[in-house]
Structure 1
Amino acid sequence: MSRFRHTVRELARNVLPVVAVTLGTRVALAEPYHIPSGSMEPTLLVGDWLFVNKLRYGPHVPLTHVSLPGYAEPRRGDIAVFVSPPQDPSIRMAPDEITPVLVKRIVGVGGDTLAMRAGRLYVNGVAESRGATPASDFTREPLPIFAWQHQLETSSASTRPTLHDWGPLVVPRDMYFMMGDNRDDSVDSRFYGPVPRANLRGTPTVVYYSYDTEAGLDWFRAVTEIRWRRLGTWIR
């Protein structure tokens, strides 16, 4: 019995510090994240694995609503990993994924006035430099899920918002409007609203692994279809 206790004691002495350091690093410093959809193409691809810098915005304390101070505030243009506000069942990737962890780009911060006209985003009245996305029947269709926007819209807003035509609306204080770079294949703040500051978890920094999820054979593509050129790519 004493030998068993000695073995348990030795295991605890050698293993627990490693576990504590690993968990502490994951909670406070960096955490891996993989890209499951094409909403951020061409910046991020399906099959990319990223390191997320959690120190930038301040690490979140698990099982609480507390976040420690970070060394930078979220800025317009940042790519951010965040916990989604509750999503309507019609847009969930899975029925039980009510508040999934997502990655999108911050296009508006508190106080910004945003609008989209014919697929081009306007921030505080200035059109972004990227071109407008070609319209389709889907992008012209007013959907009931966009009705939440009426709560934040200005008096000159469109009465029937669509994916390509909505706003102007004002982003509330301490909230962030998120959009995917692949605008017509992204479920983002247009559908579920601005994201509270407390929901932000960090910024992806580098692609440490990537493979083509469509090429090659099932079960082998993670080894045979590695995108070698993307390894070590810094994310901007």
Structure 2
Amino acid sequence: MAVGARSGRDEGEERPDDAVGHETEEEGAEAEKPRSFWKELPLLIGIALLLALLIKTFLVQAFSIPSDSMQNTLQRGDRVLVDKLTPWFGSEPERGEVVVFHDPANWLAGEPTPEPNIAQTILSKIGLMPSADEKDLIKRTIAIGGDTVECKKGGPVVVNGKALDEPYIFPGNSACDDFPFGPITVPKGKIWVMGDHRQNSQDSRYHQQDSTQGFVPVKDVVGRAVVVAWPITRWATLPVPDTFDQPGIGKQPPAPLHSPQASGAGTAGVTPAALGLVGAVPLVMWRRRRLTKGRTAR
């Protein structure tokens, strides 16, 4: 009987196990609530900035055009996107490509360089503002290593014996009447560059007395400009002109997948930042789903 009475009391009592189970369900219900957007926002911003930095460094970078040396192909104030990926795989500039390159021999001497503040310096590193201290130029590749290039007064530019038809030259300009040159053989690992606004571009022609003899080392090339991205009304691709495909001038590679007075090209960087934000959103959403699933499982 004592045993029976004890059993009856056990059925009526709240067991510690029941209380523990009840508390766990309540905690689980609370844990299933996702974190608020504002709590996730710092993570979203951090990932976006990191992705923007990686994109700017290895994939694509935006540059602004501050001068008139590439008119009418490029206008002052245009933003161009530069492919920085293919050079990592050994690709070198080809004839006809518009390229951005580091100042090879102080071509930009005398150009004003504004002093950035701390905020501008930090934001330029991640591609959110133009960089004030980067000295880059943008020109068209006319000849590459091993080519012979020349231009006589009144005549066209001639590469490997083939005259170039250059419809991209600024209207009213001659091919080289302001500064005839050549014949010149371009050394291996170098390129010969000229601006499309021939009478307003201090390019390879004007720097033959410099340490690089007017040539741009391939190692100094940042990448190829592939598209005018801004302003929207100026959107256009920057393909290789047909004249560089004429037989005998040299073998041209297949088209890429993305299908001045020396002009500096300061980093605009808006596009890497935007791409970084786009890439960060799915990562943060994936993380939120993982956290929610994990809490529900408990």
TM class, shorter-length: 0.5 to 0.7
Q: Does 1:190 align with 2:205?
A: yes
Q: 1:45 to 1:88 in 2, by over 3 A?
A: closer
- 1:205 aligned residue: 226
For the 8 Å contact 2:92–2:218, the answer to whether it is kept is no
Alpha-carbon deviations, 1:187-221, whole Å to 9, x = none?
Answer: 111123111111111111222213xxxxxxxxxxx
Pick from 225, 233, 236 the counterpart of residue 236 of structure 2.
233
Greater strand share, 1 or 2? Answer: 1
Pick from 99, 104, 108 the counterpart of residue 143 of structure 2.
108
Shift of 1:50: 1.3
The one-letter amino acid paired with 2:112 is A
Q: Does 1:133 align with 2:174?
A: yes
Mapped to 2, the partners of 1:30 and 1:19 lie a distance apart of 15
Pick from 37, 41, 62 the counterpart of residue 67 of structure 2.
37
For the 8 Å contact 2:147–2:185, the answer to whether it is kept is yes
Mapped to 2, the partners of 1:108 and 1:100 lie a distance apart of 23
- 1:21 aligned residue: 51
For the pair shown, the structure with the greater C-alpha radius of gyration is: 2
Question: Secondary structure at the residue paired with 2:49?
Answer: helix
Shift of 1:13: 5.3
Question: Superposed, which structure 2 residues align to 1:1-236 within 5 Å?
Answer: 15-58=45-88, 69-70=89-90, 72-87=91-106, 92-94=110-112, 100-119=135-154, 120-130=156-166, 133=174, 139=178, 163=179, 165-192=180-207, 193-210=214-231, 228-230=232-234, 232-236=235-239
CA RMSD of aligned residues (A): 2.9
Q: 1:174 to 1:98 in 2, by over 3 A?
A: farther
Mapped to 2, the partners of 1:121 and 1:109 lie a distance apart of 14
Alpha-carbon deviations, 1:48-78, whole Å to 9, x = none?
Answer: 11111111222xxxxxxxxxx25x3321111
Question: Identity over aligned residues, as a percent?
Answer: 32
The one-letter amino acid paired with 2:111 is M
Q: 1:130 to 1:52 in 2, by over 3 A?
A: closer
Q: 1:166 to 1:81 in 2, by over 3 A?
A: same
Question: Secondary structure at the residue paired with 1:172?
Answer: coil
For the 8 Å contact 2:157–2:176, the answer to whether it is kept is no
- 1:158 aligned residue: none
Q: 1:206 to 1:98 in 2, by over 3 A?
A: closer
Mapped to 2, the partners of 1:170 and 1:86 lie a distance apart of 19
Mapped to 2, the partners of 1:17 and 1:130 lie a distance apart of 45
For the 8 Å contact 2:99–2:140, the answer to whether it is kept is yes
TM-score (norm 1): 0.64
Question: Secondary structure at the residue paired with 1:202?
Answer: strand
Question: Secondary structure at the residue paired with 1:118?
Answer: coil
Shift of 1:95: 7.3
Shift of 1:121: 1.1
Gaps of 5+ in 1: 1-9, 59-68, 140-162, 211-227
Gaps of 5+ in 2: 1-39, 115-131, 168-172, 208-213, 240-298
For the 8 Å contact 1:110–1:176, the answer to whether it is kept is yes
Q: 1:99 to 1:33 in 2, by over 3 A?
A: closer
The one-letter amino acid paired with 2:64 is H
